[in-house]
């Protein structure tokens, strides 16, 4: 049995609305502007697949998964795996986006769990999520994301 006890949690406050945060995660044209990738799903409903696709000419699929829970604009839960490891169930982790209004701001909590301790995925997302979410915050507050 694979140990999947590791997790990573990141909380940020963004001066925007819950709808705009949810759209920034799920609308490919918006994610492209702060992430350099598009998050693509047919309908973002439970059971639907999703892909994390580079915006370069090759349109490489880096990550894949399934929508586990979707309650726009409050919550989105997805499974997450490297495309190259998609056939190995032990390689999937889970990402939960909790979006809560806080006055004229939104509290966004991203929990990435069901990770293998000391794995490459844990190492990568521990560096990646703070960059991506800081870029999202900049994009939603100023219209310009960071160059990632």
Instruction: Give the structural domain span for 109.
Output: 6-142
pLDDT category, 148, cuts 50, 70, 90? confident
- Whether 1 maps to a domain, the answer reads no
- Whether 147 maps to a domain, the answer reads no
Look up the pTM and report it.
Answer: 0.96
Q: Is the pLDDT of residue 110 over 90?
A: yes
Terminal CA-CA length for the chain: 36
**Residue 119: φ, ψ to 5°:** -85, 160
Q: How many domains in the chain? A: 1
CATH number at residue 116: 3.30.530.20
> Is the dihedral angle over the CA atoms 25, 31, 35, 39 positive or is it negative?
positive
């Amino acid at each position: 049995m694979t140990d999947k006890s590791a997790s990573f949690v990141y909380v940020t406050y963004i001066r925007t609305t819950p709808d705009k945060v949810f759209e920034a995660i799920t609308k490919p044209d918006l994610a492209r502007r702060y992430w350099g990738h598009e998050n693509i799903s047919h309908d973002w409903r439970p059971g639907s697949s999703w892909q994390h696709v580079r915006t370069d000419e090759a349109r490489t699929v880096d990550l894949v998964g399934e929508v586990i829970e979707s309650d726009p604009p409050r919550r989105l839960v997805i499974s997450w795996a490297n495309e190259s490891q998609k056939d190995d169930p032990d390689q999937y982790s889970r990402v939960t986006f909790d979006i809560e209004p806080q006055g004229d701001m939104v509290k966004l909590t991203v929990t990435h769990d069901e990770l293998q301790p000391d794995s490459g995925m844990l190492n990568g997302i521990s560096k990646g999520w703070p960059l991506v979410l800081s870029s999202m915050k900049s994009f939603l507050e100023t219209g310009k994301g960071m160059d990632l």
